[in-house]
Structure 1
Amino acid sequence: MTALRSLLFTILFYGGTVVYVLLSFPIALFGQRPLRRHVGNWARFHRRCAAWILGIRSRTEGDPPTGAVVVAAKHQSMFETLEIVLLLDEPAIVMKRQLADIPLFGWVTLRYGCIPVDRSGGGAALRRMMRAAGDAIAQGRPIVIFPEGTRVRPGERPPLQPGFAGLYRALKLPVVPLALDSGRLWPRGFAKRPGIVTMRFGETVPPGLPRGEAESAVHRAINALDPAA
């Protein structure tokens, strides 16, 4: 049954996603607001497919932040990348620069207001990232970053990437950690298991702390639901 559910989800969700992506190009021509509503609809489509087909739902612990803050999230599966869009108010998501370079798709992500980061781009890349982040802050949008830098399996707790410290120091915004345990149900590979994903917003880390103190607080909080914690 698990394999059948996973196959049905793959067919319906990714088939529907092709339609959403194709529609995003003309919608993006009308501005950011219509595009962000469209992305929200795609995220709701994902939520319904995950719940009705896979039997995967989420519960939220703590209060989702509002306004211009940095949300530092654990990353264990694709599930949270779309669920976060629904938990927050039109978040600006920090993503790899390579995704922004994909023809058409990259233009749409930038139009939405994602923030590309090039880890090897030096000062010019940092300035581009800061301009994009400044636009999001001016609009009162939360900024989402996956500070460990990549998707990890349950039990893995890699150190935070240096980019987090640079963003924290430069933006001077409070950071709200987000712990989650989606990897239990949505592991790498094809099969996905039914259950409840917990999304836990932790205590706010204020701006201006020493780097080590801020990184330690965020790392500890985003791994609060990890089996190794």
Structure 2
Amino acid sequence: MMVVLRSLVFTLVFYAGSAVAVLLALPMALAGQPVLIAHARRWALFHRWCARALLGITTRVEGTLPTGPALVAVKHESMFETLEMLLLLNQPAVVLKRELADIPFWGRVARMHGVIVVDRAAGATAMRQMLKAAKAAVARGRPILIFPEGTRVPHGDRPPLRAGFAGLYKTLGLPVVPVACDSGLLCPRRRFLKRPGIITFRVGETIPPGLERKQAEAMVHEAINALNPPAA
């Protein structure tokens, strides 16, 4: 019963606050990207407070995250890490699938924030646009945040990496910092109920640029699944 009550209060408080944050985002964006980035960080701080105070969920980071440009590849099991990584990294530029970037109003604000849109169904033009946006973010000293499996998956699932990661890895020439995450244990995707506990982010060994594609992908895939059961 307590889990149900906590989850209900979280949903009401967080999504009501998020609606206000989204409405304020456009005027913030008109003041410039730095102001919008700061606004997004405040929204992420609000989410962290809601998770801790209302759900009893805290975060543990094992290892050291980069402070400058790098390709940060994170396991994706819930919405939790999408917002928490905005706090754990320094103004990251997030790789976002086109379906989300095309949401009316919110998508426009996200683009102004500097998201990097990936369209896996499109051709070479879309890929060039993605790489151009990524290079611009790197030039401003921002790390690139990518969820290389492409979508949220249940804890324990190990799907292959999706298109987009390899292109960024090859073109940007940045080291890759893989991050495992077990948020799906407490905040399962598409589930209303969320349980109290600690969500762990485990930073893996940095993968240098210039490796052959299959080798780099295999190393990233293994590292971001370090908190998942071994594959059968």
TM-score interval for Structure 1 and Structure 2 normalised by the shorter chain: over 0.9
- The answer to whether structure 1 residue 212 and structure 2 residue 214 are counterparts is yes
Q: Distance in 2 between matches of 1:184 and 1:102?
A: 29
State the identity as a percent.
61
Q: Distance in 2 between matches of 1:14 and 1:121?
A: 32
Residue 134 of structure 1, CA deviation: 1.0
Residue 228 of structure 1, CA deviation: 3.0
Alignment of 1:1-229 (within 5 A): 1-188=2-189, 189-228=191-230
Q: Distance in 2 between matches of 1:103 and 1:152?
A: 25
Whether the 8 Å contact between 2:120 and 2:163 is mirrored in structure 1 is: no
Residue 47 of structure 1, CA deviation: 0.1
Residue 162 of structure 1, CA deviation: 2.6
Give the residue type in structure 2 aligned to 1:218.
V
Residue 161 of structure 1, CA deviation: 1.1
Q: Which whole-Å deviations, capped at 9, do the CAs of 1:120-151 have from their partners, x for residues lacking one?
A: 21111011101110110000100011111111
What 5-or-longer segments of structure 1 have no aligned partner? none
Q: Secondary structure at the match of 2:121?
A: coil
Whether the 8 Å contact between 2:134 and 2:144 is mirrored in structure 1 is: yes
Q: Distance in 2 between matches of 1:122 and 1:186?
A: 35
After the TM superposition, which segments of 4 or more aligned residues of structure 1 sit over 4 Å from their partners? none
Residue 156 of structure 1, CA deviation: 0.3
Q: Distance in 2 between matches of 1:204 and 1:9?
A: 35
Q: Distance in 1 between matches of 2:72 and 2:168?
A: 12
Q: Secondary structure at the match of 1:59?
A: strand
Give the residue type in structure 2 aligned to 1:228.
P
Q: Which whole-Å deviations, capped at 9, do the CAs of 1:25-67 have from their partners, x for residues lacking one?
A: 1110010001000000000000000000000010111011121
Q: Secondary structure at the match of 1:162?
A: coil
What 5-or-longer segments of structure 2 have no aligned partner? none
Q: CA RMSD, aligned part only?
A: 0.9
Q: Distance in 1 between matches of 2:84 and 2:103?
A: 23
Q: Distance in 1 between matches of 2:68 and 2:114?
A: 15
Q: Which whole-Å deviations, capped at 9, do the CAs of 1:91-130 have from their partners, x for residues lacking one?
A: 0000011222222211110110110111121111011101
Q: Which whole-Å deviations, capped at 9, do the CAs of 1:155-181 have from their partners, x for residues lacking one?
A: 100111132112211111110001010
Q: Secondary structure at the match of 1:192?
A: coil
Q: Distance in 2 between matches of 1:227 and 1:88?
A: 27
TM-score calculated relative to the size of structure 1: 0.98
Give the residue type in structure 2 aligned to 1:191.
L
TM-score calculated relative to the size of structure 2: 0.97
Residue 186 of structure 1, CA deviation: 0.4
